[in-house]
Every structure is written in structure tokens, then in C-alpha cells.
Chain A
Amino acid sequence: MIGPGTLIAGLLTIAILTFLYRDNPVYKFAESLLIGVSIGYTLVVVWSGTLVDSLFMPLFSDGRYGLLVPLLLGLMMFARLIPRASVLSRLPIAVLIGSGAGVAIPTMLEERTLKQMSATVAPLVGASGWPDFSAIVIVVGVLTTLSYFYFSRAHAGLLGVSARMGTYFLMIFFGATFGYTVMSRMSTLIGRMEFLLTDFLGLTG
């Protein structure tokens, strides 16, 4: 005997899969339900976990009046809904962008650019004295791919050869990424199939 949760989950999974035949009301119902439940759940989690726990409780119960500042800035965001007062929303947006950029720029430069660049500049000869094939491929791949994105000169001559090589590296990357994405989607399908065959239909152990 399957429980009500398994029954509902199984029926909704089948309802979503009916889209593979064509768009239909059963699919639309399941899709709308998913969106509604998802948004409702997120709202509850954000309300209880963020607004109540991190703002209202510390502000009104613990007397941390400094939190009035973010509360006020948050309320000013809603000024966008009133055309005559919408200018007020610029202040919290400015605070968000300013603080966000201030935090992000040095971190991005350090973690995404400098550390990645330094990882690219690896010794081309391994400890054994033989050329390190992986390091060579990385260096050639980075340089030729960058040359493909150099648009200030026509892609002719040596630059053209390099840019063409860069496109091959890009295509290999896209192919690998697409392959992994297909694998990921198949895993999702297999997960749901396992649920349907085992928990819902009881065909496998």
C-alpha cells in the first residue's frame, strides 16, 4: 500500500511527463501547481527565516535599533510602486550596487582572474623531465582561445591560424559541457523512473 505522498508524487510525475506527447491541461495543472507551491514555500522560508528571525525579532525583541536602517532601506524599495515617490528607491539600489561592487570587484580579480591565470602558467616540463602534456594543452588552449576573441585585427595569417585553433578548443568545451548536461538530464530521468518503478508501481526492489 503506497502512502498519499508517494501517490501524489507519482501522479504528478506522470502528469508532467504527458508533455512529451503534447501540451495538455493535465500538464498545465501540474506545472502551475509546481510554480505555486514553489513560490509559496520560498515566501514562507524567506518570511520566517529572514524577516522574522533576522530582522523583526532582533529589532523588536532584542532592541537592536541599528536594524531600523536596513528596514527603512527595504521599505524604500517599495517606493518604485508609487510613481511620484519612485525616486526614493534609488537610495537602497545605490547602497546595494555600491556595497555589492565593493565586495565583488577585489574578490573577482583575485579568485577568478589572478588565481586562474597563475594556474594556467604551470611548468611545461614535468618532474620526470618529460613534457607535461596537460600543461601544454592548457597553455595552447588559453592563448588560442583568447586570440579568437581579439577583434582589433583581421583573423588572417598567424592570428587566423591561432583563432581557428581557438574555435576548436571552444567546440571541444561546448561538446563536453553539452555531454555532461545530457548526462545530468538523463540522471534526473533515471531518478524519476526509479521512483515510478520502485516506490509508485512496485515493479523493482
Chain B
Amino acid sequence: MHIEGWSIDAFGALTDVERTGLTEGLTVVFGPNEAGKSTLRHFVLGVLFGFPAGNTNYPRYNPSSGAMRSGRLYLSSDGEDFVLSRLEKKGSRAGESTLLGPDGKARGDAELTALLGGLSRKVYDKIFAIGLDELNDLAALTDGDLQDHLLSAGVTGAGRIATRARNELRDRAGAIHRARAQSTEVAAIREELRAVEARLSEAQHAARDLGERREALEAKRRRADDLAEAERAAERVVQRAERLTELWPAYIEAADARAELDAMGDEAVDLPADTSERLTRALAAVEATSTEIATRTEDLNRALAQLEVLEAGHLPDLAALQPDLAALQHRLGGWAQQEEEARTRGEELAELKRRLAAELDAIGVRDATELTRIGKVVAARDHLKVTRNAFDEKATARRRAADDVEMQSKEVFEAEAAAATATEAMETAPGDLSAQSLRIESDRAAREALLLDRLSEDLKDLESYRRDLAAAEGSARSGDQAEAKATSGLQPRHVLVGLAVALAVAAVAAGLVAGVLAGAVLGVAAIVVGGASLAVAAGSGDHLDEGARRELAAKIDIIERKCVDTAQILGFAGLPEMGQVAAAKAERDRQSAALTALVAADNRLSTARAAMRAKKDHLAELSRAHDRALQAWQEWLAEHQLPAALRPEGVDEWLTHLDSARALADQISVAERRLSELHSALEEAPKSVIELADRAEQASRTPLRSGGPSGSVPVTVTPPRVDSSIGELQAVVAAIAEGISQAGDAEREVARVRDQCEVFRGELARAEKFAAEARADLDATYATAGVTDEVQLRRRLAEHERRGVLTRDIAAFERRLATESGSQAETDRTALAERTPDEWVAGRARALEEARALATERDEVLREVGAIESEVASIEESADLPTLALQREELVERLVRSIRSFTVLHLAAGLIDRTLERYLDERQPAVLQRAEAHLDKITEGRYTTIRLDPADDATPRLTVVDAKGRPHEPRGLSRGTVEQVYLCLRLALAEQHHQSLPLLLDDILVNFDPERAETTTRVLADVAQNRQVVVFTCHPWVVEVTESVVPGLHLVDLESRVA
């Protein structure tokens, strides 16, 4: 494949640049700096492999104009031409490419890939692109790197060096794992694993010790229990010694008491226990009863004196009045109720009379006495209601008729308003709005509308004929031949047209003269037919002769005049425009509609007024019937002497008032009778009270003596009047009752003092009886104790008390011994009898010492138990084992991954190594041979051989041998020679590639001297025999050298931008 040219739409600084005509062989692209040489080279690569995206190391060359990168390459492969276009596109990493084949049809991506030998840009760069920068870089390389570069140049081309890649992989693998190395990743994991496994082993051993620790725990617990038991035994010894020591004093006291009791003998041991209490109680009772007797005697004497005083006084005999007083008080209650009823009844009577007066007034009667007479009218009640109903019907009918009249008057009003509106809508309403006038007006409007339509049609025709005439005249002027043809070509059709026009003129004239629309229509129709024929003739391209044109002009004249006449009829000044006619037609349509509305409104108004008149007549008839019924009613009232003011519509209310008045009159009659009865009954009350007051005053006329115990007030009352109210009478009776009550109180006081005297006598008798009993009890106490007086008895009591004290002391000791010694009581008793406190104190001290020793040992054992328990619990609850196991597994996993990574890197490095080895064995010889040939030619036989020598690290070293067989390390060669060796290897590698792709060389000659530049150019020319070689340079001398070596060199001068 080779490049035949390019067309750059936009790429970096280059826009709209096109070159074609490049051929296979050597091409030099010349351009000074900034001429776009590098841009062009990147453009070529960009179109071939894709425009670089932002995330690559290649420059993007975005157009400064902001346009998208785009352009195309013209390619040739195996004699076929292709066009490869590429357009930068968002979302597409490399831009959108299109490959057109020789047939102009688009080819698929596979064909492009095949065209490029399946290479990526990276690989292409490494094999087929050689740049000055690569050559320059060689100068800065160390010996080893230079070896690598040169070796790689013949193996992988430029860029990544296989040996370096391999060595890096080895380094990475070595960082992970190396046999016997301690600083690798795997070694670190190994150490961690060993440590964790050691800890894990310890934890497992600890877990296995669990059973043993549990047995030790049980043994310690048993020992602790034994020690606790021994300690408790020692404590019991201590406690017994302390108990006996404490019991010792009580024991001694009890022994002394027993001795004293034995010495007292058995006298008076049977004295009752309560003797002392009985003596004290009996003596106290004797003394208390004596005091009681004295007190009761004094009380009795004082009451008897008081009774004597009271019984000596005189008491009024008022008690006999008590029954009469009670009866009178009861009757006064009844009278009070009657008096209240009389008052209430009086008020009710007054209210009834007021209401009756109101009812009489309501029914038009002056006196209640007339009610009886009027009551007879009740018999005529039905008649009243029937009359009233008939009257109501008439009144209702009249009201409805009146409503109808009202409604109709509204309709008349609305019809008048509608007529007024319709009238206003007409700008020129007819002065006479009669139906006849309106119809005439309507007909006139219709005619005008028709005329307007016709005028509009005529105007259209007129305009059409004028155009035809103008066209005919134009044709006539265009040539004699046409004219002759038109003249000789007069056809029967044209004769017919002439006749039609003549007829039309005559008809229109007749129509206008007669003013008959039909005639005008006929005329116009004829003109239209004739004109149409003429128009057809003109439009068809036929030429009209002069006569025909004149006929057409005459027809136009006729229609024009007809239009003027019609316009005059319609009120236009002169011949109107089409627009004016249309406006007039619209105005006429509007007026016609208004007129129609006016006629409708007028009809509605007439109808409404007729209906109004009919309804008013009906109302008048009903009013007259109503008046007649009213007159009959008045006559009937007079006949029955009923109030003339009674209206039929008030009959129901009047009858209600009448019934109410009659009921009230009845109630008043009953109330008056009851009031009379009450007044009669109340006249008895003052008499009865006056009588009782007189009797009371008489009974209390003798006053009481002063100094009495109570109630010494005489009964005095003010006698009542005969017209006193019941309340006043009740006050008098209350005063009498108060006097009677006071007399009763005095009598009750005498009785009370008498009863008190009897009580005092009874109490005195009981006190005397108690005194005798107390005396007898004291004597019995003496007798029981066998003594005769108090002194003897008290001596006997003292002896008895001492014996009791001694006995209780002995009993207290026995109880204490039983309580404190319990089952050991008898043993303790024996001990108390046989030993002394000193012995017990000594024994206690020994036991205490033993208990302390035992407690100390037990504490130690318990501490050990606690420790073992913690240990066991720790083992049982410990998560160390699973945690360590987890850590171990994590480390193993890390180890697995590290070993795997090591293996992968090792394998990868080995793979490169093997490939390199095979490459050097199988492919390198051909590359080297070709490179040697190039180097020989470039150095003109000075260096003839490039050799690969084995080295220590299995990577061969490259040696250059001169013509005399002397080997040279690359570092020992001049810079230019090293660059030439490198170039030879690169060229040889490219030549060995099975794809014949263009070699792109960027100013590779600049570091060469003129001779080497020339010889190198010759080598390039050799290479260009089999593939396209494009040399980019900015040096004119390179161009000159190349042109001198390669006659007819294809030069692309970027400055001229012309191919």
C-alpha cells in the first residue's frame, strides 16, 4: 500500500490543503519549520489509525479554527485506488472513518484493517516510522541501554524494548519471591505465618489443657472445703470457751440462791401470790366508798331544798286552753288558704274581663249581653263559610287576571323595545313602519342585492375582456404573418361570436331601457358567451383580425356602459371598483338583515298588544262579578244584624273571636260565684280569735311570784278587729300560744327537781352498799393470810417476795444454759462445776490460733481456685483460637495470591524470553543480513558485519565488525555511525515485515555528514524499490542530496502548497 495524496479539511494549522500524485518509491516532503511538516505526518497517521483522543500520548492537533479534525488520504494497494476519509466525531474515540474502494463504494472496517496489515498505530510507529528524536535519544543512552535499543530495533522496532519488559517483569517477580531471600513479599508473609501458627499452637495447647485445669480446680475446691470445716471446728472450741466464761458468774449466783433457799425452810410458802394486791385493793375500796357516801348525801340535801322552794309557788292554769288553741291554729291555716285563693280569683276575674272586652271589640259588639243573640248566628256559620269561599274564588280569579294583564304588559314592553332596537339597527328606517311599507322596503333590498351581484360579475367579465383585447392587440403587432393568418383564418366560430355579441348588445340595451332585470341578465349572458368564445380564441393563441378586435372592443364598451348604468341605479358615481361593489354588497346584506329583524319585531309587538287588550277585558268582567258578590254579602249581614264591618275574608277570624268571647263570659260567671263563697267563709275568722284571746287573758290575769325558776311572764294580747286579715289573726294566736308555752315550762322544772332528788337517794344507797362490801373483802384477806391486821400481813408478804427472787435467779441461769449451750447444756454444767475460767481462756486462745492458721490456708486455696476458674473461663470463652485461625487463613490467602502473582510474572517474563530466543534464532539472521548490507553501503564498506554475541544474562550483545574484521561495541562508534547502525536495523526490520506499508522518516539525515547522507539516501532509494518511503525534512540540502541521488524525485514543497 502506498499514499497517493491527501486532502486536509482541517487538522492543526492546516486547512483546505490537497496534494495528489505521490507515487511508490521515494518522496521528500520539504518545508521549513512551522510549515506543517509534523502536522502532515500526524495527519497521515491520524487518518490511517484514528485521530488521537485526549488521553493518549499523541498530540491532538485540534484545528485553531475550532472545526472538527477531518480529511482524507488517497491510497493505492495492489493497483487499486482507495479513499480513506476520517472525521472527528463526538462519542467516537478515533473519529468516524470511511473507506471507499475503486468502485466508489464504501468498504468495511475489515478491509481497512487488512489494508493496514492489522497493525495498530503503536506497532506502525515502532516498525514503519523512524524519527529524528529516536536517533537523538541514542546519544544519551548508557552502554546497556544502547545495546537494548539496537537489539530491539531489529526485534520489535522502536519503543518498548522486549528485554527491558522482560527484566521489569523479572524484577517485579523478584520483589514478590526469590529463593532464600528474606526481603520479599512472600518471605514477609511466611514470617507472619510462622508467628501466627506458633501462637495458634499455643492456643490449641491451652485448649487441650482445659481438662487438666478442671481437675486441678476440683481438687483445690475440695481442699478449700476441708479447711473450712476444720476452721469451723476451731471456731466452735473458741465459742464454747467464751460461752462457759460468760456463763460462770450466773452459775455462781444460781448456786448461792439455792443455798439461801435451802436455809429459808418451808414456812408460808403457800401465801397466795395476789395477797399484796388484794390487801392494797381492799384498803383503797374502803376509803373510796366512805368519800362517795359523803358526796351523795350533800347532793340530796341540796335538791330537796330547791324542790321545797318550787313547790311553794302558784302556776297559772293555761294548759286547759291548749286543745282550743290547736283547733283555732288549724282553722286559721284553712282561712289563710281561702284568703289567698280569693286574692288569686279576683286577679283572674279581672284578667278574664279584660280579655272579654278585647274579644267584643274584635267582633264589633259593645256589650256582652249581645253575645247570646249573636250566638244564634252560629247556626248560620256554614252559610258564612260557603259565602266566604265563593267570594274567595272570585277574588282569586280576579287576582290571576290582573297578574296576566301585568305579564302581558311586560311582553308588550319587551316587544316595543325589540322593535326600537331593530329600528335603530337600520340606518334609514322607513318613516312608515306599517307591514306594507316594510314589505316594499324588503323587496327593494332584495333587488339591490341582485343588482350588486350582477354588477360584480359584469366587472369581472369586463376585466377579462380587456385583458383579452390587450393580448390580441399585442399579437397583432408581433407580425404580419400572424395577422394574415388571423385574417384568412376567420372561422364560423368567430361569426357566431359576432352574432352573439350583437344579440347581447341588443338585449342589454333592451334590458336597460325597460329596467327589467331579466333582460339585463339575458344580455349579459349573451355577452359572456360571446366574450368567452373570443377569449378562447385569443387564449388559444389564435390571432384575431381587426374586425374581431373591434367587435371585442364594442362588447367591452357595451358591458362598460351597462355597468355604469347599473352603478348609477345603485347610487355609485361612475364605474365602481370591484372592492367598492363588494363593500356595497356587504352593507346591503347587513341592512337587509336589519330589516328582517325589524319586521319580526313589529309582528311580535302587534301580537302582544292584541293579547293585552283581551286580558284587560277579562279582568274587567271579573271585577264586576266581584263587586256584585260583595253587595250580596252586605245585604246578608244586615239581614242577620251582624256588624257591617265584617268582611268575607275575615269570617274565620271573626268566628274565632266570637267563640273566645263566649267562653270568657262563661269563665267570668263561674269565678264570680267562687269569690262570693270565699268572702262569706272568711267572715268567721276574727270572731273565733277574739273569743280565744279573751279566754287566755282571763286565765293569765294572776301574775307569778318573782324568783321562780322560769316562765314568769303573763299572757297579754291586743284583741283583733273584725276586719283583721288572717295574718293579723295568726299573730294574735301566736302570742297566746307563747304564754301557754311559758306556763308549761315552769311546771316541767318542778318535776325535774323532784326526779333529781330520787336519783340522789338511789346513789346514796348504792354507796353505802359498796362500803360494806369493801370492809368484808379486807377482812377476808386478813383471814386468808392467817393474820388479823395489816401490820402482820405486810411482814408475811416481804418474806414471800425474797423466796421468789431466789427462785427466779436459778430459773434464769437454767434458761440461759439451755439457750446458749443447747445440746451441750449438761456437758457445760459439768464443766462449770469442775473447771475454772482460766482454763477456758487458755483453751480459747489455742483454738483461735488454730482457726486463724486454717483461714489463711483456706484463703490461699480459694485464691488458687479463683485463678484456675479464671483460667478455665478464659479458655472456654476465649476467641483467640478462631481469631488466630482467621489470621492464619488470611495470611495463607495472601500467600496464595502473592505466589500466584509471582508465577504469572515469572511465566510472562519467561514467555518474552522464549520468544526473544526464538526470534533471534529464526528471524534475526535475515534482519541482520539486510541491516549489514545497508550499513556496508552507507559506510562504503567500512563496516561490514553486525553480529550478535552471547552474554552472561542470556541476552545477546550486538557487535559491529569493520572491514578488517575488528569488532566494535556500539558505545565505541561515533554518534553518526551508531545512528546509522540503528537506522539500518530499523529499515531491515521494516523490510522484513510482510506488509509493504509506507515508511515515514522524519529528518533522519540531519546528523549525518554529506557523504553518509548521500549513501544513506541511496539506501533509502533501495528500500523504496519495494515500498513507499516518505522523508520529511526542513533542510534544503537534504532535498538537494536526495534529488542528486534520485533523479525525478517526487518532491512535495509544503511552502508552495502546490503538488
Partners in one complex: no
